[in-house]
Amino acid sequence: MMGELALRSRSRVIPGALLPAVAILVSLLLVVGCGGGGSSSNSGGNNGGTNPTQNVQPLNVDPGPAGNYANGAFTSVNVCVPGSSSCQTISGVLVDTGSSGLRVLSSALSLPLPQQKDGNGNAIAECNQFQDGFTWGPVQTADIQIAGEQASAVPIQVIGAPQFPVPTGCTNTGLASEDTLQTLGANGILGVGTFRQDCGPACALSGSGNPNLYFTCPSSGCVPTAEAVANQVQNPVWMFASDNNGVLIQLPSVATGGSGPLSGTLTFGIGTQSNNGLGNATVFMLNNQGEFTTTFNQHTVTGFIDSGSNGLFFLDSSSTGLPTCTGSKNASSFYCPNSTQHFSATNLGTNGASNQVSFAVSNANTLFSVPGAVAFSDLAGPNPGFFDFGLPFFYGRNVFTAIEGQSTSAGMGPFWAY
């Protein structure tokens, strides 16, 4: 079990337009929760001969369902009414190793999924708070099918369900709602990160220490509540019958200057099949916040690997010497050097594993003006205090994300490996 408070989701999403010379809006998802929680008989290991292709799901880096995404890895998820053959395939779902749990826009979902309720029969909802916005919606239950893998009775968040007005307890932060396709930029988010749940023991607390992400909704209005770990929005991977200890993301290399749409794979399990072995990957064990340490330009900061972030985000202009962009109100979200700059950073796991990462940073305004380009290995922006290895890090690498409390050939998760 992980301990203490942890940043559950750090992904940067893009609801802005992918237009020439226009910087795309970015938001850093910072869901505050805590690690661990829960128990399961699904402890990883071999699954007894399942066809390896059953654990492989296609990924596409493309503009997404809103047509305005850069560096977004999308897939499809099959959602079913629990225990039935009444199912719907949701396309345009962003794959995010920086969060845990499936979240689907109400506007993209037509199934009557069962509503989760508390002991008094009141509906449960969640306010998933990000740095510049929030998603609000009920917690409902679904069977989830991805490739040949299945998870039964999984609590998910249905974003923007019209029958659940947003309470003041969710809006009083002053953050903007991200409950539509235009503001979220995807039909949903598939969180396949290092945690089993999206919050963990902190949200199960009554009173002080609860981050108030979960709400009970009597007729008088929704108010914060404690939510048992098993009832929280769950990372569906750890609930699979097999191949349930993590994921492997594989995407082709991308040269500086951008590329058109790409195809890759999301493979479930680590060391459970012939197609998901660690091989020569370096394993980075994580601290109780689900992080490692990154040293860059004589600064040592918290580092994390996050496929839901659309760029490499690190330090600020005064620390990097990289100017931020100008030309639109959101331009400062990205760096715009006069020419492509080359750097390296060093990652260090709690197990002593170390590795140097080389990367490039180009002018974001120039990148966004490349016709047809949606994949950028050299897109970066400021992020004081953290080093966020977003989707550019995944290009040309095999990147493994191991889930807390799940057994692998390299030991118990959580860890990243590449």
Residue 49 CB neighbour total at 10 angstroms: 7
Q: Write down the pLDDT at residue 7.
A: 30
DSSP state of 301: E
pLDDT score for 289:
87
Least confident of 245-249, 332-336, 360-364, 409-413: 332-336
Beta bridge partners of 151: 144
pLDDT of residue 48: 37
Buried b (16+ CB within 10 A) or exposed e, 246-279: bbbbbbeebebebbeebebbbbbbbbbbeebbbe
Which residues on neighbouring strands pair with residue 58, listed in sequence order? 265
Cα 310-312-317 angle, rounded to 5 deg: 125
| pLDDT interval class at 100 (50, 70, 90) | very high
Q: How confident is the model at residue 207 (pLDDT cuts 50, 70, 90)?
A: confident
pLDDT at 43: 33
Alpha-carbon distance of 418 to 407, in angstroms, equals 18
Inform me whether the pLDDT recorded for 28 exceeds 50: no
Summarize the confidence of residues 142-148 as an average pLDDT.
Answer: 98
Which residues on neighbouring strands pair with residue 375, listed in sequence order?
A: 259
CA pair distance 370, 362, nearest whole angstrom:
12
SS3 per-residue string spanning 29-50: CCEEEECCCCCCCCCECCCCCC
Between β-strands 415-417 and 283-285, what pairing exists: parallel, antiparallel or unpaired? antiparallel
Domain 5-40+56-239 CATH class label: mainly beta
pLDDT at 194 over 90: yes
The model's pTM is 0.89
Q: Are 414 and 402 in contact (CB under 8 A)?
A: yes
Separation CA 76–CA 114 (nearest Å): 21
Q: What is the pLDDT of residue 329?
A: 65
Give 3-state DSSP helix, strand, coil % of the chain, rounded to 5: 10, 40, 50
- In this prediction, residue 234 carries a pLDDT of 98
Q: Which one has a higher pLDDT value, 6 or 171?
A: 171
Q: For the chain, give me the number of helices (H) and strands (E)?
A: 5, 29
Q: What is the C-alpha to C-alpha distance for residues 411 and 283, in angstroms, rounded to an integer?
A: 10
Q: 174: left (phi > 0), else alpha (psi -120 to 50), else beta? A: left
Rounded CA separation 294/215 (Å) = 36
Q: How confident is the model at residue 341 (pLDDT cuts 50, 70, 90)?
A: very high
Bridging pattern class, strands 223-224 and 214-217 = antiparallel
- Cβ-contact 58, 49 below 8 angstroms: no
Three-state DSSP at 343 gives strand
Task: At 317, give phi and psi (nearest 5°).
Answer: -60, -35
Going by pLDDT thresholds of 50, 70 and 90, the confidence category of residue 132 is low
- Whole-number Å distance between alpha carbons of 255 and 191: 27
The continuous run of DSSP H or E covering 319 comes out as helix 317-320
CB 248 within 8 A of CB 276: yes
Q: Is 332 helix (H, G, I), strand (E, B) or coil?
A: helix
Provide the CB-side half-sphere exposure for 143 (13 A, CA): 15
Instruction: Tell whether the model's pLDDT for residue 221 goes beyond 80.
Output: yes
For CATH 2.40.70, list the domain ranges present in the chain: 5-40+56-239
The per-residue pLDDT for range 29-82, each reduced to its tens digit, is 323 223 333 323 333 333 334 566 799 999 999 999 999 899 999 999 999 999
- For the cut 70, the answer to whether the pLDDT of residue 281 exceeds it is yes
pLDDT of residue 129: 78
- Which of 57-71, 121-135, 315-329 has the highest mean predicted lDDT (pLDDT)? 57-71
- CA 77, chain centre distance (Å): 15
Percent of the chain with pLDDT strictly greater than 70: 86
